Structure formats: structure tokens, C-alpha cells
């Protein structure tokens, strides 16, 4: 996979298809392959006539893995996405993020509104505003000597997922410590581009899709039936809703 230098951190990415560009930003402990290629997103979007760009966030996949928690604040990670667009010579793109990637998408849009044509917040609803914690048990789970000693259910889920995706546990713990910044309702109200908020009906992490969409000037909600935070990622209702949104947006 190609890489570029983002202020000293190597960032790996894929770039496939032709047409209007869409940038995909994956969730915590995932990577471009697990979040977007495996569940069929890259295939679905390229078939729909899109140029698909997906990065491995810093600390994940084949990108650089700083150990300093200060390297993982959401605005810092948003700049990796902006530099990737610059690296590819793209002035503007649709952007879809999932979970942590949705948070990064929000910060990217606020910092560089001219670069973002529309946004899709997957796996993150009102948690963008009121938080989606507590996250201390997840950090503890990532730093635990083994999965067997972890009692906290959410901590076990993320530790298991990190091990399945081959994640660097030290880098992921640093990321979890620093990447959870929230936005005020007023800041969310400044995201004035077409916006879709897609959350599973059984997602206990993301917060309400409808309530976040109501704060967005051009927001709409998509509730993905009978899906939790992990299973919503590749759901066909989610894909169909995103493709319809992209077709309809100005």
C-alpha cells in the first residue's frame, strides 16, 4: 500500500476507482482493510462510480504508531486526513468515518470546511457531544497482561478486537487516552454540509442518531435495524442508505 509523510508520521492508504472522491476514516483498533475492504464498502462505492480513498489512522494498521498520547488528539488525527487529501491533490471530498473515525471526520469538517463536501457519521450519534465512555476500562484492558484477566465487558470486547486485527496494544492505549474529545451543540451546528448519521439500533456506545442529526443544519438519521456497534459496520441497510445519501446530496 502507498504511504505518505504526515508531519513525521507515515500514513498508509488505499486509492481505488474513479469518479467523485470519498475519504473513509476507520474506527478505533480497526484499519482500512477490516473497516472498509472486508465488509464490502470499497467494492460497493467503486461500483457506484466513486473514487475511494481510505487511510490507516496513526497507531493503526500499516501507519506509524507513536507512543505519546498527545499524538492522538482528534484534531491532530484530522490533520492526517487533510494532509492525505492535499497529498492526492484533492480540494474537496465526501468523508465517511466510523466511530472514532466519525469523530475525526467532525473535527476535520470544522477545521477545513471547504475540503468536505458531505459527511457520514457511522457508529457515532449524540456521543459526539455527550461522550461515549467511560473509556478507562478499555485502556486498562489494552494494557492488561492477557485477555483472560479482563472482567469489564466492553474492555474485553475491544481487547479481543485489537488482538484479532493485529493491533499494537501500547499505541492503541495511547490513542484511547487522547482521542475522545467531544463537541458542543454549537460546534456541531457549524457542520453545515449534507450529513448522514448512521447508528445501529442496538448500539450501546454511539448515542442517539436522531439527536445528533437534529443538531446538524443539514442532518438526517439512519437507524440500522438489529445491529450493535460492531455488526453495523458492514450492514446492507447502512450501505444502501449511504449510497442513496450520496446520490441525493447536492
Q: What is the pLDDT of residues 8-33, one digit of tens each?
A: 999 999 999 999 999 999 999 999 99
Calpha distance 134→150 (Å, rounded): 16
Long-range contacts of the stretch 210-214 (C-beta < 8 A, 24+): 210/125, 211/125, 211/126, 212/121, 212/124, 212/125, 212/126, 212/128, 212/129, 212/188, 213/125
Half-sphere exposure of 42 (CA within 13 A, CB side): 18
Quick one: pLDDT at residue 146?
96
Calpha distance 248→250 (Å, rounded): 6
What predicted TM-score, i.e. pTM, was given to this entire model?
0.96
Task: Evaluate whether 169 touches 160 at the Cβ level (below 8 Å).
Answer: no
β-partners of residue 198 are 122, 222
CA 220 to chain centre: 18
Length of the chain: 250
Residue 123: name the closest of 37, 58, 188, 202 by CA. Answer: 202
Quick one: pLDDT at residue 132?
74
Quick one: pLDDT at residue 195?
98
131 vs 4, more confident: 4
Calpha distance 55→79 (Å, rounded): 12
pLDDT digits (tens, 9 = 90+) for 113-168: 999 999 999 999 999 999 877 789 999 999 999 999 999 999 999 999 999 999 99
Q: Go through 192-205 and write b for each residue having 16 or more CB atoms within 10 A of its CB, e for each that does not.
A: ebbbbbbbbeebeb
**In which band, very low, low, confident or very high, does the pLDDT at 5 lie, cut at 50, 70 and 90?**
very high
β-partners of residue 229 are none
Quick one: pLDDT at residue 250?
83
Domains and CATH numbers, the chain: 3-230 (3.40.50.1820)
Across the range 172-194, mean pLDDT stands at 96
Antiparallel, parallel or unpaired: β 9-16 and 3-6 = antiparallel
Quick one: pLDDT at residue 199?
98
Residues contacting residue 47 through CB under 8 Å, at least 6 positions apart:
none
| DSSP 8-class letter at 114 | G
Cα–Cα–Cα angle for 131, 137, 141, nearest 5°?
A: 130
Calpha distance 99→231 (Å, rounded): 12
Amino acid at each position: 500500500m502507498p504511504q505518505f509523510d504526515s508531519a513525521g508520521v507515515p500514513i498508509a492508504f488505499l486509492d481505488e476507482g474513479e469518479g467523485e472522491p470519498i475519504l473513509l476514516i476507520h474506527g478505533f483498533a480497526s484499519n482500512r482493510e477490516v473497516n472498509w475492504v472486508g465488509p464490502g464498502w470499497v467494492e460497493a462505492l467503486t461500483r457506484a462510480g466513486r473514487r475511494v480513498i481510505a487511510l490507516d489512522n496513526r497507531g493503526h494498521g500499516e501507519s506509524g504508531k507513536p507512543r505519546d498520547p498527545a499524538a492522538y488528539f482528534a484534531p491532530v488525527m484530522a490533520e492526517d486526513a487533510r494532509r492525505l487529501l492535499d497529498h492526492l491533490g484533492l480540494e474537496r471530498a465526501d468523508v465517511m468515518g466510523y466511530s472514532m473515525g466519525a469523530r475525526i471526520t467532525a473535527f476535520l469538517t470544522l477545521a477545513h470546511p471547504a475540503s468536505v463536501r458531505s459527511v457520514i457519521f457511522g457508529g457515532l450519534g449524540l456521543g459526539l457531544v455527550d461522550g461515549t465512555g467511560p473509556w478507562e476500562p478499555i485502556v486498562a484492558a489494552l494494557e492488561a497482561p492477557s485477555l483472560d484477566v479482563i472482567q469489564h465487558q466492553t474492555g474485553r470486547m475491544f481487547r479481543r478486537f485489537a488482538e484479532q486485527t493485529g493491533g499494537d496494544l501500547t499505541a492503541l492505549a495511547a490513542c484511547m487516552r487522547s482521542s475522545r474529545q467531544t463537541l458542543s451543540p454549537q460546534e456541531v451546528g457549524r457542520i453545515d454540509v449534507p450529513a448522514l448519521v448512521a447508528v445501529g439500533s442496538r448500539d450501546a456506545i454511539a448515542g442517539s442518531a436522531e439527536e445528533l442529526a437534529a443538531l446538524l443544519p443539514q442532518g438526517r438519521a439512519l437507524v440500522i435495524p438489529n445491529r450493535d456497534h460492531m455488526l453495523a459496520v458492514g450492514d446492507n441497510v447502512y450501505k444502501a442508505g449511504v449510497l442513496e445519501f450520496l446520490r441525493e446530496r447536492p
